[in-house]
Structure 1
Amino acid sequence: MSYQFFSEREEVQYQHFSIVPASGALGGIVSGIDLNTQLTDAAFKEIYSAFLDFKVLFFYDQAMTPEQHITFARRFGLPQGPGAVPQLEQYPQIKEQIMDEYSSIGSDVNYHADDSFRDYPSKMSILRGLKMPQGGGNTIWVDMEKAFDTLSEPMKKFLEGLSCVHNLDKTFGRGILEGAGAQAWEDMMKRNPPATHPLVITHPETGRKSIYASQLTGVRIPELSEKESDTLLAMLFEHAYQPEFQCRFSWQDNSIAMWDNRCLQHRGINDFSPAYREMNRIAIIDTIRPSTNPSAQTPLQFDANAPYINVDELYDSANKPEMSYTDGSYNNTEDKLTVVAGSSDDHADVDPAFLAKLNAKKAEFSFTPGAAAQLKKIPAMFRGAALRSVFKAAGQKGISEINMALLNEVNAKRKG
């Protein structure tokens, strides 16, 4: 398909399902197909064709088990394994994204393509909404191909000679440094070294070009001065994130979105906190690096029959992480406590308002100041995962006070 809006395109008819545009720019809402069935090759081929055309597909009323989620995702490629986002227990391929009164989407989690800070980012993501809030928690996608195509020809030529450094530190670094300390920040960077990609990339299947830099991770254009880089990136973000290039999805329970990270960016809207939102996501790896010439890239070597690939393997040899997410101490949901545990002072100073908020949430539990101070250091997006683990341990032990001894005990158990 071209870069035209849907109103300018010739309508495509599908044999195995129906689809209507989600906006004028991108996105399709699919109906008339059950993704839990054993999809025929013909049906899957049509889904994939629609995926490339619409770039993000939406499905309602698709109740799935974790096993069915994995089975469907495996049709598209190899899932990514454990990383910074908590995993669903017993399913290392599935990222568990739960927001509640204890955790929320950070205000700094803005537009991004998944995993662009790795040498081999995600090709696509398949996100399930299990329990969704009413009237909030939408997600916006933006078409970076349209953003590139609507630039002037001289600007396009200028951008195609540049690259961009993608660094997870841009958004999360300061919060981890201030909240959890220098060692936690250093460990994060050792697990997630920055990656450099072309500023304009070519889609390996459609041949279309798009801007490959995001608010979340795009830190600099090394070919330019710092001032020039900051100015150019700010201009590109302002241009790319305009409403004409967007679509927005209103989630329901058992709905699914699957999107192409090679040409789209997205962000969640935090207008539902403290309501409960539970989602599961599988990231499918790309086998080549983002490039202006995909056919010239050397494919990533991996075991296609493995259940998933470790994120540490998604880097070239010259940029391998110094630390691993699969070294036995940081490979599941509760390990978010690893960042902060180790103290035994239950009387440490803590923000009184935060302590009062924790103690008001669950009548059956109370927190010591020291435990609250340690929990406050966990980034807001992950705090709920840590707290669920702590509540579970407290319930099993039949205790009502959550103190540093319990936090350290939970942490030691998760380390094995």
Structure 2
Amino acid sequence: MQIRPLTPTIGAVVEGVDLGQGVSADLAETLRQALLKHQVIFFEDQRMTPVQHRDFAARFGALHTHPLYPGVPEAPELFILDNHAGNPTDNDAWHTDVTFIETPPMGSILYARSLPPNGGDTIWANMRAAYEALSPTFRQFLSELDAVHDFARGFPQRGIVANAAGAEKHARALAEHPPVLHPVVRTHPETGEDGLFVNFGFTERIKGLRRKESDAILAMLFEHVTKPEFQVRWRWSDNAVAFWDNRVTQHYAVNDYLPARRVMNRATILGERPYHRSRMPAEARAAAE
């Protein structure tokens, strides 16, 4: 196995691994360490059934079932992103996956099933690098704040995904996912490093600030994280796989391929309740010690 970095900041290609053959405990740990180092790792020319995809993801934790997207029949823990002229993507905005729950995912694994002739890239950004590029004074200010993450912001009633899911399913999901609080700056539970943990997709406001103050700071941060220096852009090929650390990245699905079709399957791995080191829960403090 070889690991080839793509940029100095984020992203690496893992070569010499056949995910369809199953992943041993030793290989899973090696891939976890590569993920922690590079934030997103890519595998090319893989052959996985939906069950193999699910089982690979389950090596890294319990899986989340999305409340709106359609599941894969053979492995309902996976869901399908099938975008075309009649169902354009809603992921063409910077976001971190599923931050509308108390324990957002530690990671996601995306598998390319059918690709457009060209276009359809995905971009990831490193939130640790984005945080470290801010001034020390501003970092200190942000570290004391919490923000509201809201399912309704990411999946509005008249949005693309809500319409496809149907009014009844959307209403049930909305009732089951009230707004939650997460720190604006998150301490990574494995590396101990700090990174920004607000995203345009789900972060509605910063608690304790006036609305104009919150809007101004969030707008600045949403723009800041899009700097090319923090990013890697991945050009998909058939049967390629991306595995990203959702705790320290954001991503953006480039919507430049319509009316062509793009079909992806995604597994989402549940994580821990986010915290900042200044407000570390007792169990996390004990584990760190």
TM-score calculated relative to the size of structure 2: 0.90
Task: Indicate the residue corresponding to 1:19 in structure 2.
Answer: 3
Task: Indicate the residue corresponding to 2:50 in structure 1.
Answer: 66
Q: State the shift of 1:109 in Å.
A: 4.1
Task: Indicate the residue corresponding to 1:246 in structure 2.
Answer: 231
Residue among 1, 5, 14 paired with 1:30: 14
| Structure (1 or 2) with the larger CA radius of gyration | 1
What secondary structure is seen at the aligned counterpart in 1 of 2:158?
A: helix
Task: Indicate the residue corresponding to 2:287 in structure 1.
Answer: none
More helix, by proportion: 1
Distance, in Å, in 2 between the alignment partners of 1:144 and 1:133 is 29
CA contact (8 A) 1:168 1:216 kept: no
Task: Indicate the residue corresponding to 2:197 in structure 1.
Answer: 212
Residue among 257, 265, 271 paired with 2:256: 271
Task: Indicate the residue corresponding to 1:89 in structure 2.
Answer: 73
Distance 1:183 1:67, change over 3 A: closer
CA contact (8 A) 2:84 2:261 kept: yes
Residue among 168, 191, 204 paired with 2:176: 191
What secondary structure is seen at the aligned counterpart in 1 of 2:27?
A: helix
What secondary structure is seen at the aligned counterpart in 1 of 2:20?
A: coil
**Which structure carries more relative contact order (alpha carbon 8 Å, separation 6+)?**
2
Structure 2 gaps, min length 5:
285-289
Distance 1:251 1:295, change over 3 A: same
Distance, in Å, in 1 between the alignment partners of 2:66 and 2:202 is 20
| Superimposed CA distance per residue, residues 181-211 of structure 1 (whole angstroms, 9 cap, x where no aligned partner) | 9988754421321111010110000001011
Distance 1:222 1:88, change over 3 A: same
- 1:169 correspondence with 2:157: no
Q: State the shift of 1:156 in Å.
A: 0.7
- Structure 2 letter corresponding to 1:23: T
Distance, in Å, in 2 between the alignment partners of 1:47 and 1:172 is 32
Task: Indicate the residue corresponding to 1:105 in structure 2.
Answer: 89
| Correspondence list, 1:301-340, <5 A | none
CA contact (8 A) 2:22 2:52 kept: no
Distance 1:82 1:168, change over 3 A: closer
Q: State the shift of 1:39 in Å.
A: 3.1
| Superimposed CA distance per residue, residues 90-117 of structure 1 (whole angstroms, 9 cap, x where no aligned partner) | 42211111112321113x7411111101
Residue among 57, 79, 100 paired with 2:63: 79
Q: State the shift of 1:261 in Å.
A: 0.5
| Correspondence list, 1:96-135, <5 A | 96-106=80-90, 109-135=92-118
CA contact (8 A) 1:34 1:62 kept: yes
What secondary structure is seen at the aligned counterpart in 2 of 1:265?
A: strand
| Superimposed CA distance per residue, residues 298-330 of structure 1 (whole angstroms, 9 cap, x where no aligned partner) | 59xxxxxxxxxxxxxxxxxxxxxxxxxxxxxxx
Distance, in Å, in 1 between the alignment partners of 2:263 and 2:170 is 27
CA contact (8 A) 2:122 2:233 kept: yes
Distance, in Å, in 2 between the alignment partners of 1:221 and 1:254 is 40
- Structure 1 letter corresponding to 2:122: T
CA contact (8 A) 1:167 1:195 kept: yes
Residue among 221, 225, 229 paired with 2:214: 229
| Superimposed CA distance per residue, residues 205-245 of structure 1 (whole angstroms, 9 cap, x where no aligned partner) | 00010111101111101111100000001111111111110
What secondary structure is seen at the aligned counterpart in 1 of 2:156?
A: helix
Structure 1 gaps, min length 5:
1-16, 300-416
CA contact (8 A) 2:68 2:170 kept: no
CA contact (8 A) 1:35 1:62 kept: yes
Residue among 129, 132, 145 paired with 1:149: 132
Distance, in Å, in 2 between the alignment partners of 1:252 and 1:90 is 23
More strand, by proportion: 2
Distance, in Å, in 1 between the alignment partners of 2:228 and 2:66 is 34
Residue among 131, 135, 138 paired with 2:121: 138
Q: Percent identity?
A: 36
Distance, in Å, in 1 between the alignment partners of 2:154 and 2:63 is 25
Distance 1:159 1:67, change over 3 A: same
Give the aligned length: 280
Task: Indicate the residue corresponding to 1:345 in structure 2.
Answer: none
| Superimposed CA distance per residue, residues 135-175 of structure 1 (whole angstroms, 9 cap, x where no aligned partner) | 21110101111111111111011001111101122243262
CA contact (8 A) 1:140 1:266 kept: yes
CA contact (8 A) 2:186 2:194 kept: yes
Runs (4+) of structure 1 exceeding 6 A deviation are: 179-185
Q: State the shift of 1:295 in Å.
A: 6.0
Distance, in Å, in 2 between the alignment partners of 1:193 and 1:265 is 22
CA contact (8 A) 1:125 1:284 kept: yes
CA contact (8 A) 2:67 2:173 kept: no
- 1:283 correspondence with 2:268: yes
Distance, in Å, in 1 between the alignment partners of 2:280 and 2:210 is 31
| Superimposed CA distance per residue, residues 224-281 of structure 1 (whole angstroms, 9 cap, x where no aligned partner) | 1100000001111111111110111111110000000100011101111121211110
Distance 1:64 1:283, change over 3 A: same
